[in-house]
Chain A
């Protein structure tokens, strides 16, 4: 079958969504299909976001089937459209009241928000099957658009390379250093820990210098290693050698970090408002869910540092949760007619 995967392109940016699209195309090809990725640029200010959505209505896509992924690629018109929704335009929905959203409490902005929600609902209704990457995304779709969708979970990048290792003396996280990932919370947490465990964060982002200053201010510079970009083999090694993984985003859609931690048999320390992370991390079973205060995060680190056997048990329970995640079954579900 000829299948076009459709996705948005944010120029000069590469993150989880891009990896997800690439891996989907690879999985479709591995299943014997001709698959290609079609991307159109998107902008996030509300006027150009609507323009970008309309642009997808105009693009002729000749294929037997299209799989649309994130906003606004699901506006694509095709008689056989499957949507596997990564996320909508979050500034118009769950993040509408965030400082960066331009869907403000003003008449024109609210009308744009109304229109976008109506457009979204209509084009998502066109899909012959509607999946989401996680239960969190499915819940948003029901809450905001009144549409029911089925979560379809998939394995994270490097899942075949990740493996358990020794329980080291650091907690690890691979994440972009941006506000929605809340790396500052992790630094505050490690600063409050009394165990001597360090925090290693792989990844880069606009907050890097602020985070270094924060660590210094909290007298925790020696406990924080902002390691920057790590190549895949280094990433795998860090997961394997960590005591645990700490991941504290706000309302994450899915969160590869959690899944990668579990493939490496590591428990995850997180917060009760972490969104999709909580679909995997069960407090006391596969990790520790805190109230999100630095003190609680510090205590969670100390608890695992004091009891490595507990950390191992939780990591193994996490591994058990993800071991059946694989691409061939995802492809089967997406293409089921």
Chain B
């Protein structure tokens, strides 16, 4: 499991959250949550006998959990099902994190519900004019309207992602519309989808009857100004409501972590995070590397 993609040295004076794991596979979304948590702390396998400002266990039977609970530092546990919940129900102070409201609900204020969503950090918003240049780069048509329902076979995840990033406009219904919006695609969808994802016709999406989806998307593809406006607002909707890592802030607060940069390098990281700068971006490597050099690491 990739936990901390950011150079740990950049936040080396930040609090350390000890990671406790069990032999069972960890749900992929836990990795996403922990990655986002690195904006507040360093996550490290310090071992059950190590020292940490707080702990995160990937299940209720993680090695070292008992000892961590006795130590007095805040402890969060991924609650993957009712068995986990039962084991933890009587443990004072434990923070329960999970994706099932029925399982997390009984923990009250110590429960962090982590519903399904899109990993917005991994979907890089692409505005219509940059999409057009990418298409030219790869010899794709000037106008590319993507309506997956029109395809004979369901496209692979990679093809779908590429289409969301490069299409002039997307005509799509159902939950995948959220990922299209995360990539900043101009989206035409049906009324039911718009309502379900909290999008407003003309603001974040264009609403059309399913039979007219391709035509609506094609019109959108021809209107770069409208596409840019919808794409921007759609992306913000995802960041506000559908980003899978949104609960990271709640969890950080319960773990007693403050989002306060702890040294110059940490501040640079925070500024870059604020602008949603990807982890591997050249500018991030340059700026963080420079800041680290300045503080003598």
Contact = CB atoms under 8 A, between A and B. Distances in A.
B133 A96 contact: yes
A227 to B, nearest CB: 40
A117 B130 contact: yes
Contact of A110 (B125, B134, B277): B134
Contacts, number: 87
> Do most interface residues of chain B lie in helix, strand or loop, or is the interface mixed?
helix
B233 interface: yes
A122 B276 contact: yes
Most buried by B among A115, A139, A144: A115
A291 B187 CA distance: 38
A114 B127 contact: yes
Contacts of B1: none
A144 B228 contact: yes
A58 B136 CA distance: 36
Given A58-B271, A106-B137, A147 B232 contact: yes
Given A51-B283, A54-B287, A143 B129 contact: yes
B230 interface: yes
B126 interface: yes
B42 to A, nearest CB: 23
21 contacts: A47-B283, A51-B287, A58-B267, A106-B137, A107-B137, A111-B281, A114-B126, A115-B277, A117-B127, A117-B129, A117-B130, A118-B127, A119-B275, A119-B277, A121-B232, A142-B229, A143-B129, A144-B127, A146-B228, A146-B232, A146-B233
A142 B137 contact: no
Contacts of A336: none
Interface residues of A, number: 32
Interface in B246-297: 267-268, 271-272, 274-278, 281-283, 286-287
Interface of B: 124-127, 129-130, 133-134, 136-137, 224-225, 227-233, 267-268, 271-272, 274-278, 281-283, 286-287
Interface of A: 47, 50-51, 54, 57-58, 93, 96, 105-108, 110-115, 117-119, 121-123, 139, 142-148
Contacts of B127: 114, 117-118, 121, 144-146
Nearest to A58: B271
A6 B16 CA distance: 39
A112 B272 CA distance: 14
B183 to A, nearest CB: 11
B130 A113 contact: yes
A145 B232 contact: yes
Most buried by A among B130, B224, B227, B233: B130
A302 B33 CA distance: 71
B129 A57 contact: no
Contacts of A122: 275-276
A183 B287 CA distance: 41
A143 B275 contact: no
A50 B124 contact: no
